[in-house]
């Protein structure tokens, strides 16, 4: 029985776990134990989440919402995402193919669902929260070359599934946690996730029925001509899951409207689950409503009953989510922001930016309209007409890689600087803001970024020294959380109210300090840097209402509970610009970000 201290009366595991050790038998037995040393079956419970019918159905939001719900019932919770692709991580995947690449504090480049997990759990995750097929196969092939499988023929079962189980249990050991929510990427029927589903089935066999559950998230489409929801896709999806040996305990039905009794009963009958275990998850105006929606259908109680757990306390909605729900019930003045990038056709490419803006708009009690401009359309000299940005009160230049769209982004940065529109440049946006300023203010007409002008005679942005001899691309950037020294009496210091902060990075290039004096002489200053002051990490223009660029990605650390200070100050400046634009050009904004309620 779990209590508020996160224990269930069983002995704790040892502190040290060797990921490369497991016990195996060398006789004709097929039994291989993939358990960390001193593992205790039953100490941690597992909820596996699968998806059906279509991708993007909402498994990530459901998993995160369930984790949030369980945490606020008093359990210790963590979450794992398993992706089927053979990449070892998400670092080299184009955002158009898989959405935003999220970066954890330890430098892990991962699926954007882990960003959702962090925001809902209000917790920092690490490499053990993310498993790909490539990561698993790398472990297996390295072990095989070292002879660690003791003469066995290495197979999908038991070796691939065993290593997956070992990684899941290693995360459970790390806490140790009461509950681990494991999301299996893709949909049932995808060939690339079969080994993950098989590993989950084996977990049920290994751990026992009282310690493992399955939730299946599926689309229930609305047939407009018939005027009703259709359960047939869900029935086929569950049948496909049954063929893999897994009977879901909960079916989460995504739909445009709430389920009615008839459709619940139909899904219950044909999918062999209790009607009470058919969870309705209709579209909402905010993902932060979902935990409450799940609680209204007693989802935590269903899980606790199946896993033989007592709920340590009543559900206590977090203060931030209450603020969110109250915000949604009110009307607000509107401010318009534009994001200038090259992945604008897929908004999931910038999902953390959108979340960071959402967190700040709630704090400031304003409505936000986000617009998009594809900068690749402006890289050939096409003029930026004033009416394109009519009514815009803030411009964001997001991160990115490569030459495409870079010159167009530079032109919008110039527009923001010259028209005194609040501006926030993120990573690549920081670098291109330097290029723009060097060219158009400092008179360095040939100033360039060596990523797209390798032989420039004015490389104001160039490769980090440690990057210059690297041959590989994956996992080799400056990644994860690093300390940033903040200079007092700057806009950055006013935002953070601190002389040192930790932010998350993902870059290969840096500002060339040979140009520092020339840049600062013309009015752009560097207000944040590494503690040794060797790498510039924040720039600003003091005479501008709000012009800040960061070499790091501040959007990655924004949470509903704690809006990121630079985003909050940016949106505050945009609000002031919107008000002042009615009468005159805005003066510099007084920033109040960084202060807690």
- CB distance 405 to 375 below 8 Å: yes
Out of 427, 442, 495, 575, the active site residue is 427
| CA distance readout (Å), 90 to 104, 112, 135 | 12, 9, 11
454 Cβ partners below 8 Å, 6+ apart? none
195 is a catalytic site residue:
no
How far is residue 108 from each of residues 104, 114, 293, 410, measured CA to CA in Å? 5, 10, 32, 29
Q: What is the 3-state secondary structure (H, E, C) of 81-122?
A: EEECCCCCCCCCCCHHHHCCCEECCCCCEECCHHHHHHHHHC
In whole angstroms, give the CA distance from residue 534 to residue 513: 8
Which residues touch 212 (CB under 8 Å, ≥6 apart)?
A: 45, 46, 47, 48, 200, 203, 204
The whole-angstrom separation of Cα 492 and Cα 552 is 13
Three-class secondary structure of residue 270 per DSSP: helix
Which one from 22, 98, 195, 553 is the annotated catalytic residue? 553
The yes-or-no answer on residue 22 being catalytic is no
Please enumerate in sequence order all residues whose Cβ is within 8 A of that of 329, keeping only pairs 6 or more positions apart, or say none. Answer: none
Annotated catalytic residue: which of 109, 183, 436, 555? 555
| Catalytic residue status for 553 | yes
Per the structure block, which two tokens stand in for 549? 């660029």
Element (H, E) at 134: helix 133-145
Beta bridge partners of 526: 539
So which residues are the catalytic ones? 427, 553, 555
């Amino acid at each position: 029985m779990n209590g508020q201290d996160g224990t269930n009366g069983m002995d704790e595991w040892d502190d040290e776990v060797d990921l490369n050790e497991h016990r195996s038998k060398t006789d004709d037995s097929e039994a291989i134990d993939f358990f960390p040393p001193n593992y205790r079956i039953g100490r941690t419970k597992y909820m596996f989440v699968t998806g059906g019918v279509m991708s993007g159905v909402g498994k990530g939001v459901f998993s995160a919402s369930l984790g949030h719900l369980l945490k606020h019932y008093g359990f210790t919770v963590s979450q794992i995402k398993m992706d089927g692709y053979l990449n070892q991580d998400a670092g080299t995947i184009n955002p158009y193919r898989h959405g935003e690449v999220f970066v954890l504090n330890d430098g892990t480049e991962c699926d954007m669902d882990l960003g959702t997990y962090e925001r809902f759990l209000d917790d920092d995750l690490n490499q053990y929260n993310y498993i790909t097929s490539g990561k698993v196969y790398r472990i297996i092939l390295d072990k095989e070359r070292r002879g660690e499988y003791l003469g066995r023929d290495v197979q999908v079962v038991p070796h691939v599934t065993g290593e997956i189980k070992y990684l899941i249990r290693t995360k459970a050991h790390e806490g140790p946690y009461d509950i681990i929510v494991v999301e299996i990427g893709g949909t049932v029927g995808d060939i690339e996730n079969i080994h993950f589903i098989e590993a989950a089935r084996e977990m049920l066999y290994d751990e026992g029925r009282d310690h493992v559950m399955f939730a299946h998230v599926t689309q229930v489409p609305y047939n407009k001509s018939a005027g009703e929801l259709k359960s047939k896709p869900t029935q086929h999806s569950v049948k496909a899951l049954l063929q893999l040996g897994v009977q879901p305990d909960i079916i989460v039905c995504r739909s445009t409207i709430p389920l009615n009794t008839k459709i619940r009963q139909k899904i219950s009958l044909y999918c062999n689950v209790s009607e009470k275990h058919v969870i309705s998850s209709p579209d909402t105006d905010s993902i932060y409503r979902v935990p409450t929606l799940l609680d209204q259908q007693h989802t935590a109680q269903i899980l606790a009953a199946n896993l033989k757990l007592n709920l340590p306390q009543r559900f206590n909605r977090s203060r931030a989510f209450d603020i969110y729900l109250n915000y949604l019930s009110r009307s607000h003045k509107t401010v318009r922001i534009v994001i200038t990038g090259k992945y604008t056709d897929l908004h999931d490419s910038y999902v953390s930016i959108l979340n960071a803006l959402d967190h700040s708009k709630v704090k400031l009690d304003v409505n936000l309209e986000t617009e998009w401009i594809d900068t690749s359309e402006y890289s050939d000299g096409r003029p930026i007409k004033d009416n394109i940005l009519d009514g815009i009160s803030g411009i964001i230049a997001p991160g990115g890689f490569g030459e495409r769209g870079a010159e167009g982004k530079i032109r919008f940065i110039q527009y923001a600087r010259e028209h005194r529109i609040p501006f926030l440049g993120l990573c690549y946006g920081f670098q291109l803001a330097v290029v723009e300023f060097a060219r158009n203010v400092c008179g360095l007409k040939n100033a360039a970024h060596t990523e797209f002008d390798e032989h420039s005679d004015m490389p104001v942005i160039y490769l980090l020294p440690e990057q210059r001899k690297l041959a590989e691309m994956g996992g080799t950037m400056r990644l994860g959380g690093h300390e940033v020294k903040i200079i007092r009496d700057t806009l950055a210091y006013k935002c953070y109210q601190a002389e040192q902060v930790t932010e998350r990075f993902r870059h290969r290039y840096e500002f060339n300090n040979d140009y520092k004096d020339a840049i600062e002489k013309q009015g752009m200053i560097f207000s944040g840097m590494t503690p040794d002051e060797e790498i510039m990490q924040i720039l600003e223009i003091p005479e501008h209402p709000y012009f800040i660029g960061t070499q790091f990605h501040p959007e990655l650390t924004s949470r509903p509970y704690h809006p990121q200070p630079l985003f909050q100050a940016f949106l505050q400046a945009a609000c002031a610009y919107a008000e002042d634009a009615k009468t005159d050009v805005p003066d510099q904004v007084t920033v109040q970000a960084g202060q807690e309620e």
